[in-house]
Amino acid sequence: MDCDIAIIGAGIAGLSAACAVSGVKDYSSILIEGRGVGSNNPSPLTFADIIDEFDLVDCCRETYDSFVFHNWKGSSIAHRLGREALIVLDYKKACAKLAERAVKRGTSTVLMERFVTGISEGENLVTIRLDDDTHIRSRILIDASGSSQVIASRSKKDGVSYYSHVYGGSFANVGPIPYKLCCFLLPNPSFGTGGGWFYSLGQGRASFGYATISSDPGPDFGALRENFERARSTFEPYSKYLANAHLEYSESGVIPISHAKRFVRHNVIVVGDAAGMATNWTCMGIEPSLRYGRLAGEMAVLALSRNDPPVLNTFQSLWEEANKDSFDRAAKNLAGFWSSDHYFWEWIIKNDLAFLTPAQLLDRLRWNRHLLKKHQILYRALRHRTRLVFHRGAHRAHHFVVTE
């Protein structure tokens, strides 16, 4: 079988790429998926405007106008955003919708339900071997294979890569929750060094879980599950909300959070989790997968139309221009950041997050912006210490609410 563009993976990144190429009738494309469309089925939190941009608004499970950080047995801070800026996506539904769009729009894209077992990269063609021993030869390959990292796993890694090992679930029969809760639960060594989440989903449902950051790509699901159960039974008020709830389905997996050094190799582009594009400060991979999946598809079409594979390198430079600084700044302190203790997170809530406006908070989540400057850290650390000495209440947990 021959085609112009082959895409491995019908997750959100591969499908976004498929949508970008399927409208172009001049080129044939094959989307190869081994486990079913949208098989990695989390309840991911993302930004309302990107979902609007990709016409997936009908795939939202819930929308939120506030965002909460909560430290176990400690402080919390709620930013009231003034609009429903955050949403939880129905991942499977969104993927099914994109798949329908990609395969229906033109006759040029087909979905092949097979597993890729091998790849050989040639000068002009990439050969992809499937589990039924057939081969596909393609002029361009887009690897959107998620945490399987089909291409990246073939090359030696330079430096340490980090992964978020996630374990949680979607629950039904959840107790009454005072308002729509969209909550990041701060890291804690007993529950997970990557932090956790609690999102109320309406109709007595909620998603809850914890993650652990590791340099090992393979998770220990037994240990993750124990951590999750510990958080579920002890982190109030979430443990109360979940006391009589039952698990509808579990949400677990791996999010690579160290970006690949090179996303483009001759006639191959790597995108989404396969390229480690999820933000390393919040482990959010939906927006980059949608945005750069589409760009990968557009770049593939451009390279074919100009018959010039080096055009694909533009993909690398556009990603770097928009993201490299933020990613690399966060990467510098990654190991220390994710293994910080209760007191560090108390400090962060009281001396950093409490000073951000809701708009700045959204920028922080999305782009890692509005970070404290060195002199601000020094001044606030000094002030914090003085308060701890002279104000009795300074040690106590504070519950902040920030409005615009």
Ligand X SMILES: Cc1cc2nc3c(=O)[nH]c(=O)nc-3n(C[C@H](O)[C@H](O)[C@H](O)COP(=O)(O)OP(=O)(O)OC[C@H]3O[C@@H](n4cnc5c(N)ncnc54)[C@H](O)[C@@H]3O)c2cc1C
Positions that interact with ligand X (CB under 6 A): 8-14, 32-35, 39-40, 42, 44-46, 115-116, 144-148, 150, 166, 168, 251-253, 255, 272-274, 278, 284-286, 289
- Shortest distance in whole angstroms from residue 125 CB to ligand X: 19
Choose between 61 and 265: whose C-beta lies nearer to ligand X. Answer: 61
Q: Which is nearer to ligand X, 187 or 272 (CB)?
A: 272
Least CB distance to ligand X at residue 14 (A): 5
Instruction: Please tell me what DSSP assigns to residue 324.
Output: I
Which residues make beta-bridge pairs with 86?
Answer: 47, 64
Q: In terms of Cα–Cα distance, which of 140, 44, 48 is closest to 95?
A: 44
Q: Angle, nearest 10°, between helix axes 342-351 and 374-390?
A: 110
**Chain centroid to CA 229:** 23
Residues in the chain, how many?
404
Q: At what angle do helices 12-22 and 286-305 cross, to 10 degrees?
A: 30
Closest C-alpha to 191, from 219, 161, 229 = 229
Least Cα distance to 349 among 399, 391, 282 occurs for 399
Q: How far is the CB of 381 from ligand X (least distance, A)?
A: 31
Minimum distance of ligand X from residue 200's CB (angstroms): 14
Q: Which is nearer to ligand X, 11 or 358 (CB)?
A: 11
State the nearest-atom distance from the C-beta of 374 to ligand X, in Å: 30
Closest to ligand X by CB, 211 or 353: 211
Which C-beta is closer to ligand X: that of 20 or that of 351? 20
Rounded Cα distance, 15 and 31, in Å: 8
Round to whole Å and give the CA distance between 193 and 174.
25
Residue 304 Cβ vs ligand X, minimum distance, rounded to whole Å: 22
Closest listed residue to residue 339, CA positions, set 175, 232, 213, 250: 213
Give the H/E segment covering residue 230: helix 221-234
Closer residue to ligand X, CB minimum distance, 231 or 351: 231
Q: Which amino acid is at 244?
A: N
Return the half-sphere exposure (C-beta side, CA atoms, 13 A cut-off) of residue 268: 24
Which one, of 52, 18, 3, 7, lies nearest residue 298 by Cα? 18
For residue 274, which amino acid is it? A
Which tokens sit at 224? 């993750």
Question: Toward ligand X, which CB reaches closer, 33 or 346?
Answer: 33
Shortest Cβ distance from residue 103 to ligand X (Å)? Answer: 15
Nearer to ligand X, 206 or 286 (CB): 286
Task: List CB contacts of 392: < 8 A, sequence separation 6 or more.
Answer: none
Nearer to ligand X, 275 or 351 (CB): 275
Write down the residue that tokens 């700045």 correspond to.
360
Question: To the nearest whole angstrom, how small is the minimum distance from the Cβ of residue 286 to ligand X?
Answer: 4
Cβ–Cβ under 8 Å, residues 338 and 194: yes
Smallest separation, CB 83 to ligand X (Å): 19
Least spacing, CB of residue 91 vs ligand X, in Å: 7
Sign (positive or negative) of CA dihedral 67, 340, 191, 368: positive
Residue number with CB closer to ligand X (334 or 354): 334
Closer to ligand X by Cβ: residue 150 or 353: 150
CB atoms within 10 A of CB 180: 16
Q: Which two tokens stand for residue 264?
A: 């483009």
Minimum distance from residue 266 beta carbon to ligand X (Å): 20
